[in-house]
Structure formats: structure tokens, C-alpha cells
Structure 1
Amino acid sequence: MNIPAESTLLRIFLGESDQHAGRPLYEAIVLAARERHLAGATVLRGTMGFGRSSRLHTAKILRLSDDLPIVVEIVDAEARIRDFLPALEGMLGGCLVTLEKVQVVRYDGTGPDAGELG
């Protein structure tokens, strides 16, 4: 798979306890991105954060949270990311979604799907 050097980063900020169709929302998003053959997705689990409600979510030992912040990052060509956005609409509840331009300097792998920039 090829990915252009000028690409787009989609970031979705949500909570660890958010669900879609009986599974964690972050998992549903990554699987949907994979089904659409997007270049890649990563789920990051935060140790502390807050959102629109200003409710603090933290992993401190004395105050364990079961709803830590989660960020899903997906990188691909802008058109492919924008085509993916409507698929997210039916999944997302309260969250923050951002897009930003990124410069891909390396995208390769070791398997048969390894690609080059361009």
C-alpha cells in the first residue's frame, strides 16, 4: 500500500468505556478503518485527561478510573480519511474529532504489504 507524503491525521478523542455494537468504541473504529484498507491506526491510552464536561479522568493509584482517555489516530491520504468520516458518524457519541495535515517521512513494513511513499 502506498501513502502520499502529504497526508492527513485523523484523531478521535473518546473515553475508554465508550461502546459501539457491544464492543469498545476504539476497537470498532480501528476495525472499520482496517476494513476500508486505510494506511494505519493506533490506539493510545491516556493516564489523565478531561473533556467537555471537565470531569477529570485519571489513573492515579488512589483514584482509579475505569474511563481513561483514549485517542485513536489514523493516517492516510486526505481523500481517504474524508471518505471514512461518514462511517464514523453512526458510531460516535460524545467525543472530539480533529484533522491535521501531516508529512509522512517513512511508511514501510516487513510483509508483502510493505509500501513506499508516493
Structure 2
Amino acid sequence: MDFVKGLRLTIFTAEDYKYEENILFRQIVDRLYDASISGVTVVRGIMGYGSSKQMRQVRLADLFEGLPIIIDAVDTKEIIEGFIIEHSELLTHCTVTTSPVELWR
């Protein structure tokens, strides 16, 4: 096994965002799975804001709804870039970043 160059895709969204009446982050993860992306992790934030500048944070009265979600996915550069292009309509209301990584394969 050796290290190979890869790309990390990080998608910032919120757990209550929807796309075509379905929960957005779940649709993204389902599509990452269907695309056979090597690894995906979803992290739920306790506080944050995005382009809307609407602060979101954990409060008991909110029953923990609408919190920030971070989806991290890793694979080769070609596969990650292909995913972004193919699913750009789903990522329109998200903040999307990529960064180089080394994958142990």
C-alpha cells in the first residue's frame, strides 16, 4: 500500500435545508454513496452561520433543529471533481470547499 494524491470535499449546510422537499444533507450523502466515494463523514455542529449570516446554535427550546452540518468526503481528485460537476444543482445553497489530501491505498 502507498499514499496516493486525493481530494477532500467539504460541504457546509444546515440540517433543516431541503432540496425538492427532501432533507438536503441526506440527499447529498445518498448521492456520494451512489457515486462510490471512498469515505464520507457527517458532523453536526453546535453553532455556526453561513452565507445568510443567520446564527444557528444549540438551544433546548429549538429541540436541536436547524444546526450546521458538515459533510466531508475523500477520494481521488478526478472522482471528487466529477461529483461536484454532476451534482452542482444539489450544492447550489451550500458552501463547498476542496483541499488536497493523501490517501493510504
Q: TM-score if structure 1 supplies the norm length?
A: 0.77
SS of 1:10's partner is: strand
Higher RCO (Cα < 8 Å, 6 or more apart):
2
* Partner residue in 2 for 1:19: 18
Q: How do 1:61-76 residues align onto structure 2 when only pairs under 5 Å count?
A: 61=60, 66-76=65-75
Letter in 2 for 1:55: Q
Displacement of 1:29 in angstroms is 0.9
- Cα separation, 2, equivalents of 1:5 and 1:52: 34
1:48 corresponds to which residue?
47
Q: Partner of 2:6 in structure 1?
A: 7
Aligned to 1:87: 86
Q: Percent identity, aligned pairs only?
A: 28
Supply the distance in 1 between the matched residues of 2:42 and 2:62 (Cα, whole angstroms).
23
Letter in 2 for 1:61: L
Which of 1 and 2 has greater Rg?
Answer: 1
Quote the offset at 1:88 in angstroms.
2.1
TM-superposed CA distance for 1:5, in Å, is 2.6
Q: CA deviation at 1:92?
A: 2.6
1:25 deviates by: 1.0
In structure 1, list runs of 5 or more residues that go unmatched: 106-116
* Bigger proportion of residues as strand: 2
Q: In the TM superposition, what whole-angstrom CA distance separates every residue of 1:19-76 from its partner, at most 9, and x where no partner exists?
A: 1233211111111111111111111110000112221100033665521000111100
Distance in 2 separating the partners of 1:18 and 1:62: 19
Q: Name the Cα RMSD after superposition.
A: 2.2
Larger mean CA deviation between 7-16 and 84-93 belongs to 84-93
Between the two proteins, the alignment pairs up a number of residues equal to: 105
Unaligned runs of 5+ in 2: none
